Amino acid sequence: MTMLDDIIMDTIGLKQKYGNLTRDNKDLINLNPLQTAGRLTEAAKKVLVEFGDGYSVCDHCKGRLDEIRNPPIYDFVYGDLPKFLGADVTRITSGAREGIFMVLHSLTKPGDVVLMDGNRHYSTYVAAERAGLKIIEVPSSAEPDKLINVEDYGPLIEREKPKLILLTYPDGEFGNLADAKRLGELAKKYNVPYLINGAYAVGRMPISMKELGADFIVGSGHKSMASAGPIGVLGMKKEWEPKVLALSTRHKNKELECLGCTARGSSLMTLMASFPYVVERVKHWDEEVKKAQWFSGEMEKLGGIKQVGQRPHTHDLIKFDTPIFYQISEVHPGKRGFLYDALKNKGIVGLKHGNTKQMKISTYGTPREDLEKVLEVFRTLIDSYKDKIKK
């Protein structure tokens, strides 16, 4: 047998392994906060195939991704996206965390202080750590609320003299929305740049960087803007453009922090294809909040379940303490995996396998009748085991 024969045999095996990949939960009720607002629109599904080839947007590129006119990336980056974010200048990034790093890396030097909320996403910490910064966190209140009081930023700004302050709005653990506008006022008072991590806000709810008094805002296309990922957006005030979007000394039209170009294929095209739908859906945010509050109330009526975080809740991402399901797991034959399996068997996904003490759920874009089905599964499980756990 020759080496060529081995390669042919390997190719056959690889085709069998990778040639028919499927996603078995794509048509189920999905409660995962990472995915509910990232569901592709029909327009995005179509364009995903159209621009699926690598570097598919580069056919008409003259050296700058953001200046491509066909497809209309230029119109998106320089016209429509800035209006949507309430920013002067915008860029496409490879994700929210990449946008955060771009700002941190361009505005600071190793050893500088950055001030961020204690509910921040891990990737925010990692971005600051990668930039070599000293990280100071504004602590949240005790459980179950875990609230960020933005007034606590003031004394820390005075003492630590940070080069940047950051707020996660909302945080990805509890769905709490701190007073971002008040923090904007404090940022102006102390003359310190202010970045909003809106990964769970931009594309879900109305939000304007200027109205909140921020200097920067980042969003996540795959989490909250109905697009394939990874992809993100970055908005900023005009005054920061020379620093954050500085050009290479040798490759004169390439922006350093973007490493020349960022997302340049189907992820960008799905972001643009879904954009009209996203612009429309944020107008109905009040309806999403009412639905989330209704669901939270119905969950607590089941008994043994308590919503944690901000009350009344004002975001679709909701966290619950669920000791009742932990008690059931101790007597259920499926042990800690029983809840995930019970939901999956009823066409419901999104909870982490093995989680019974707590759960995070997003109601975004999910019809009320589907949420009724979710509640019924929970109700049936509790009713079926309440006598057993009392023993």
The pLDDT of 151-166, averaged and rounded, is: 98
pLDDT value of residue 21: 84
pLDDT value of residue 55: 85
29-36+283-386: CATH superfamily: Aspartate Aminotransferase, domain 1 (3.90.1150.10)
pLDDT at 5 over 70: no
The pLDDT of 270-275, averaged and rounded, is: 98
pLDDT value of residue 20: 86
Q: What is the architecture of the domain spanning 42-281?
A: 3-Layer(aba) Sandwich (3.40)
pLDDT band at 2 (very low <50, low <70, confident <90, very high): low
pLDDT band at 293 (very low <50, low <70, confident <90, very high): very high
The pLDDT of 158-179, averaged and rounded, is: 98
Mean pLDDT estimate for the chain? 95
Q: What is this structure's pTM?
A: 0.94
pLDDT at 1 over 60: no
Cα distances from 261 to residues 12, 65, 138, 290, 369, in angstroms, run 36, 6, 34, 40, 43
Cα torsion 237, 172, 136, 152: sign:
positive
pLDDT value of residue 143: 87
pLDDT at 360 over 80: yes
The full set of domain ranges for the chain reads 29-36+283-386, 42-281
The string of pLDDT tens digits covering residues 299-313 is: 999 999 999 999 999
The pLDDT of 63-75, averaged and rounded, is: 94
pLDDT at 250 over 90: yes
pLDDT value of residue 24: 75
The string of pLDDT tens digits covering residues 119-136 is: 999 999 999 999 999 999
pLDDT value of residue 6: 65
CATH topology agreement for domains 29-36+283-386 and 42-281: no
pLDDT value of residue 351: 93
pLDDT value of residue 58: 87
Three-state DSSP string of the chain: CCHHHHHHHHHHHHHHHHCCCCCCCCCCEECCCCCHHHCCCHHHHHHHHHCCCCCCCHHHCCCCHHHCCCCCHHHHHHHHHHHHHCCCEEEEECCHHHHHHHHHHHHCCCCCEEEEECCCCHHHHHHHHHCCCEEEEECCCCCCCCCCCHHHHHHHHHHHCCCEEEEECCCCCCCCCCCHHHHHHHHHHHCCCEEEECCCCECCECCCCCCCCCCEEEEEHHHHCCCCCCCEEEEECHHHHHHHCCECCCCCCCECCCCECCCCCHHHHHHHHHHHHHHHHHHHHHHHHHHHHHHHHHHHHCCCCEEECCCCCCCCEEEEECHHHHHHHCCCCCHHHHHHHHHHHCCEECCCCCCCCEEEEECCCCCHHHHHHHHHHHHHHHHHHHHHHHC
The pLDDT of 330-347, averaged and rounded, is: 94
